[in-house]
Structure 1
């Protein structure tokens, strides 16, 4: 499983995933020209784009990808309507579908957007499983046999509190962060509850510029999982 990071921040999120047979995009929150450059200007080889939710930093180029370049977009009905995507395939939580050599299982997550989703992808070619979730403060499901995880680790609660107390982060903004994004502490709790026996790599994405510590996050997740940890 190859994972390429095109963007991972509030400015735009987009990832390219390939099992050697099928190429997919996970979210499309960058400008179309940036995404095209990241896929070597070969959109004809991208079989689909899985969109987690309707916020612009995840869905910005959905219409251009589908209408101009023929990339099929998959998202929840709530996301399609809120983002006003004119050409997309509506998918539902826990209704599996197939894109090329990937079996994709959407699942519901917790965020301040209509019907946000995470995705579990299994390659029928390699047998590898990728779990992708972002922009959620909590995951109520547990996943077994996952080989790769691409997930949000947005903030450290202690750093966030220090920034609030120091006047660097407004309290109202901190409350929104806590109610809509994954902390490193909650991520650790989630991982402890999962079967990590096949886990090879964890990609930490969507880190806050001011409320996170990339080196500390990497060390903590590496120590917990024993897997390779890449900070996006």
Structure 2
């Protein structure tokens, strides 16, 4: 498995993942021309794009990718919110295995599961090869995890803020209470992530990628140290 971070955070999320025989984009929240450049203009190498929800920092380039011939997978609710259709659009419901539309994806099982975010039908993804040689969990933009993290080789997961840092910014007047409450109801904190990791079976996990850190409400060194001490697993802060 090979993972390349093209963009993360509120400015745009996009990750290139090679797993099994497939090369995927997880999210497409950067402008299409930026994605083209970061992929060395080899869009044809992308077998599919998986989108978690309709916010533009996750779905900005979806129409252009579809026009370029890339199958884009998402829930029906996300597709409706984006107002898109066409034969390159592949929709499903949470917990419904994504159907296979290309030879490259036939050795993959893609299982979307529900996320907690202020949009129509958000999901996270559990992706594995049919022979279970490679497994990946991708979680972003969720207030908490409704389900136990599946066993996986690699975990890509949001760690948006630290509660103490967020509350300090409210006290200092850097953000207002309404924004604070919106963040808490839509994004995963360090504290919630630690709880989820303690409940998970991580024996198989080799690497944890931490995604979507807030510029003002997180603490990169604290977050990395805490997750490493909690899990004993190599941590990459994106």
The bucket for the TM-score relative to the shorter chain is over 0.9
Q: Deviations over 1:77-111 (max 9, x none)?
A: 11101111233111111111243432100001100
Given the two structures, how large is their TM-score scaled by the length of structure 2?
Answer: 0.94
2:222 is paired with a residue of what secondary structure?
helix
Counterpart in the other structure of 2:95: 94
1:141 is paired with a residue of what secondary structure?
coil
User: RMSD between aligned alpha carbons?
Assistant: 1.2
* Contact 1:47 1:100 (C-alpha < 8 Å) held by counterparts: no
Query: Quick one: distance in 2 between partners of 1:47 and 1:85?
Result: 19
2:35 is paired with a residue of what secondary structure?
helix
Deviates more, 1:148-157 or 1:38-47: 38-47
Query: Quick one: distance in 2 between partners of 1:78 and 1:42?
Result: 30
Query: Quick one: distance in 1 between partners of 2:39 and 2:131?
Result: 21
Return the match for 1:220 from 219, 226, 235.
226
2:166 is paired with a residue of what secondary structure?
helix
Counterpart in the other structure of 2:50: 50
Unaligned runs of 5+ in 1: none
1:203 aligns with 2:209: yes
Offset, 1:20: 5.6
Unaligned runs of 5+ in 2: none
Offset, 1:125: 6.3
Query: Aligned ranges for residues 56-135 of structure 1 at < 5 Å?
Result: 56-67=56-67, 69-87=68-86, 88-97=89-98, 98=100, 99-124=105-130, 127-135=133-141
Q: Deviations over 1:155-185 (max 9, x none)?
A: 0000000000110111110000000000000
Query: Quick one: distance in 2 between partners of 1:125 and 1:2?
Result: 18
- Count of paired positions: 231
Structure 1 runs of 4+ off > 3 angstroms? none
2:200 is paired with a residue of what secondary structure?
coil
